[in-house]
A and B are shown apart, each in its own frame.
Chain A
Amino acid sequence: GAVVSQHPSRVICKSGTSVKIECRSLDFQATTMFWYRQFPKQSLMLMATSNEGSKATYEQGVEKDKFLINHASLTLSTLTVTSAHPEDSSFYICSAAFPGSSSYEQYFGPGTRLTVT
């Protein structure tokens, strides 16, 4: 089956530093990937749509200069949280669109737990 990996699974960083999270589709090519954040006991909130070879599309209210997304290849998208603050602490999940899926299915990565101290 389709597998999506994320790295790191957990990261703790100090306030003001930047953190990069990688999302990889391991056995298929994904022209489109999505980045979500999830607070405890809340829904997945879509942050941005990442398209290979073009700029990401950000959802309303998401700061594009703070959450930098790069989709440099068909199997890799990265999310960089710049100048992180404690309120950025959250569970970040990526997903990859499975190409040619009649149901437009997404496959999710295992998530990255970010804690900003």
Chain B
Amino acid sequence: GQNIDQPTEMTATEGAIVQINCTYQTSGFNGLFWYQQHAGEAPTFLSYNVLDGLEEKGRFSSFLSRSKGYSYLLLKELQMKDSASYLCAVRPYDNDYKLSFGAGTTVTVRA
């Protein structure tokens, strides 16, 4: 089976930085996605990593280390609207869209 772990909850202050870690043990690895999901809504795409290193996109950055089975999502200059669940998902199989999701990390931003 696929095992993807991330913390359940994190709390941070508006304007601060939060790092959400994700570790995975999967049957294969063909890319890792981060999604943002507000309560009762669909997940929306944040980032995609397939090679080791840091991908930066505005206030959000994502890092991947394939040898360690580890990724993190970094949220900078936190805003109240960033309060949401953040899902880590791995694509285990080549030539296949199928994803395995972690349970999600609920981030609460406080004023």
B41 interface neighbour in A32, A43, A97, A111, Cβ under 8 Å: A111
Q: Determine whether the beta carbon of A34 is less than 8 Å from that of B106.
A: no
Q: Determine whether the beta carbon of B98 is less than 8 Å from that of A111.
A: no
Q: Determine whether the beta carbon of B98 is less than 8 Å from that of A93.
A: no
From B31, which residue of chain A is reached at the shortest CB distance? A103
Q: Determine whether the beta carbon of A104 is less than 8 Å from that of B30.
A: yes
Q: Please indicate the chain A residues that have their CB under 8 angstroms from the CB of B96 in the complex.
A: 104
- The A36-64 residues at the B interface (CB cut-off 8 A) are 41-46, 49
Main secondary structure, interface of A, reads strand
From B96, which residue of chain A is reached at the shortest CB distance? A104
Q: Please indicate the chain B residues that have their CB under 8 angstroms from the CB of A113 in the complex.
A: 40
Q: Determine whether the beta carbon of B87 is less than 8 Å from that of A43.
A: yes
Main secondary structure, interface of B, reads loop
B97 interface neighbour in A91, A93, A97, A110, Cβ under 8 Å: A97
Q: Which of B12-20, B43-51, B56-64, B75-83 contacts A (4 or more CB under 8 A)?
A: B43-51
Q: Determine whether the beta carbon of B103 is less than 8 Å from that of A43.
A: yes
Q: Determine whether the beta carbon of B42 is less than 8 Å from that of A111.
A: yes
Q: Determine whether the beta carbon of B42 is less than 8 Å from that of A41.
A: no
- The B1-51 residues at the A interface (CB cut-off 8 A) are 8, 30-31, 33, 35, 40-45, 48, 50
Chain A residues packing against B (C-beta within 8 Å): 4, 32, 34, 41-46, 49, 91, 93, 97, 103-111, 113
Chain B residues packing against A (C-beta within 8 Å): 8, 30-31, 33, 35, 40-45, 48, 50, 87, 91, 96-104, 106
